[in-house]
Amino acid sequence: MTEECEDLSQSQNHLGRNLLVLAGIFLLMLVLNHLMPLHRDDYDYSLIWMTTEHITSAQDTVYSAYRHYLLHGGRMFTVLCLNFFLWLGKFAFDIANALMFTALVVLLYFHARRSVEWRQEPLILAVTGLFAWLSFPHFGEVAVWKSGSTVYLWSAVPVALFLLPYNITLAKGQASLRSWAILPMFLLGIIAGWSVENLAVTVVGLTFGISWYLRRQGKMAGWMPAGAFGSLLGLIGLVGAPGNFVRYDDQGAGKGIFAHIGNQFAGNGEMLLYILPLVLLLLCAWRIYKLELAEKKGLVIDRAPLQFSWRQWALLGVILLLVVSYFNGSFVAWTVRDILYAVVMVPLGLTKPKTIDHFDNLFKGFDEMAIYWLTIFFVYALVKKQLGLTSPVIKMLAQKVSAREVWQAFPAVRYAGCMLALALINNFVMIAAPTFPARATFSSVAMIIIAAVAVLREPLIRGYFAAHGHKVLMAGAWGLALFTLSASMLVTYTMQQENDARIAMVQEAAAKGEPIAYMEPIAMKNRALRHVFFVDFDNGVTKDGLCKYYGIKDIKVNTDKEKHR
């Protein structure tokens, strides 16, 4: 009886911590969404599509989505959500978007567990949230900005919910839902298939493949093919939209197969920069699995106590200097920029205004990316040292333990490997698209997060890290989280103030009947690892939507960059 009471108390304690983690994630996203103003495409979607009429009713939201379907693209579900919440107002959208992100973190955690039980692991739930915060490419564009988040975040949530019963069924070997779920899964399948093009194709292939596999095992339930056929109908609705052909004619004309292949390298390459912490953690975990098998064969690993060398102290000093620089005008970045300009650019004659503009743009994110990469590799080197993974040991492990042995010995490795393969396939589907921006890897990164969390929550991996790298990992995680959070809040707040001042100028020009609004460029270009998405008012997309929304003809921004750098 006493043990049962202790278990109940511990379960309630974990539940409270889980709720605290989720409340923290929700509040963070709510603040970011509150600070993020309407921007770029948001103004176009606040109007009935390709008109100058403002959306003023629920009927207008449906009509606008219908026009968008005919004239621009097939993402009817996400566009309808965007139109509806833009009509309801910004605060309603802020709450809904924060809830969506919180729900995605929970769903990723469920997929990693392959279960909907979530009381026992508040730390792993927090790690899932941290991975989502750090790893989604162009976070501000895909999870905060309204027009972007409804496409990527709002597609990922119903898809993750839809696929969860399939995943749990595979894990448990028996149907996770009963016959009552046939109609709900069919309808949810339509929404999942009517999401984002590459994700929709992956969903259709995955659900039909799982249904076929379980049918051969004699374990298929009726909701499985129902959901698969629903997703197929959604995919047909998505790719069959007349607007897709209109947009493809604009974006894809003249692009051959080599351009599409090149897009794969660009998109996957940029994704790799964002998921670097996950890649290095998975690499450490892979070697831990090898260590475990090698030690069973009698190999003894010597693990030296953690001691900083002078090089590591120097690197830590550089990181701290960059942090100070970041919050004080990025003086390190601009010093490096000026030195390279004088020593390299001028002697080579690379002084054309457009070249200098691209060169300057490279250094606008120098401090933040340097902090991010240096911190990650700094922590990785320390953790490797604590685990005893020296170069000779790594070579010895490669000789004594084969990859096949690791694959066969650990179910978590097989599951993570399948998720990584699925992520690559999901990205490869984008070869059919005329462009492959990094934001389109959102759903693949979600799969990679699932793989990483599934491995990290395994007792063997958690035990090794707890014994040999826990403090370093915690310090690194807190350091990156605090830096990116504070930087994002500061930059987003500054951008909000800058935006509000310039919107006031546009409104004033419109009220006076002046056709053109004049303004200075926004001085702050810092984007905090792309957790902030903002483009100045002279950008074509931003300017066109604003002009239509406020009823003026043009916006003129002073482009004297050297003056405002």
- 410 to 17, 298, 454, 536: CA distances (angstroms): 29, 19, 12, 51
The CA-to-CA distance between both ends of the chain, in Å, stands at: 70
Is residue 73 a contact partner of residue 250, using CB atoms and an 8 Å limit? no
Distance CA 510, CA 125 (A): 49
**Residue 452, C-beta contacts closer than 8 angstroms, at least 6 positions apart:** 131, 278, 281, 282, 416
pTM over 0.85: yes
Nearest residue to 47 (alpha-carbon basis) of 20, 87, 15: 87
Distance CA 516, CA 238 (A): 39
- Report which residue type is found at 7: D
Residue 209 has pLDDT above 60, yes or no: yes
pLDDT digits (tens, 9 = 90+) for 44-67: 999 999 999 999 999 999 999 999
Distance CA 519, CA 496 (A): 16
pLDDT digits (tens, 9 = 90+) for 102-146: 999 999 999 999 999 877 789 999 999 999 999 999 999 999 999
**Local confidence band at 378 (pLDDT 50, 70, 90 cut-offs):** very high
Is residue 386 a contact partner of residue 308, using CB atoms and an 8 Å limit? no
Distance CA 418, CA 432 (A): 23
pLDDT digits (tens, 9 = 90+) for 167-188: 999 999 888 899 899 999 999 9
Identify the three-state secondary structure at position 516: strand
DSSP 395-425: HHHHHHS-HHHHHHH-HHHHHHHHHHHHHHH
Is residue 372 a contact partner of residue 402, using CB atoms and an 8 Å limit? no
Is residue 153 a contact partner of residue 97, using CB atoms and an 8 Å limit? yes
Residue 199 has pLDDT above 80, yes or no: yes
Residue 510 has pLDDT above 50, yes or no: yes
Residue written as tokens 């096949």? Answer: 404
E-assigned strand segments in 209-349: none
**Residue 448, C-beta contacts closer than 8 angstroms, at least 6 positions apart:** 135, 275, 278, 419, 420, 423
**Local confidence band at 565 (pLDDT 50, 70, 90 cut-offs):** very low
DSSP state of 389: -
Q: Give the start-to-end residue ranges of the domains of the chain.
A: 13-253+275-284+413-468, 494-564
For position 427, what pLDDT does the model report?
92
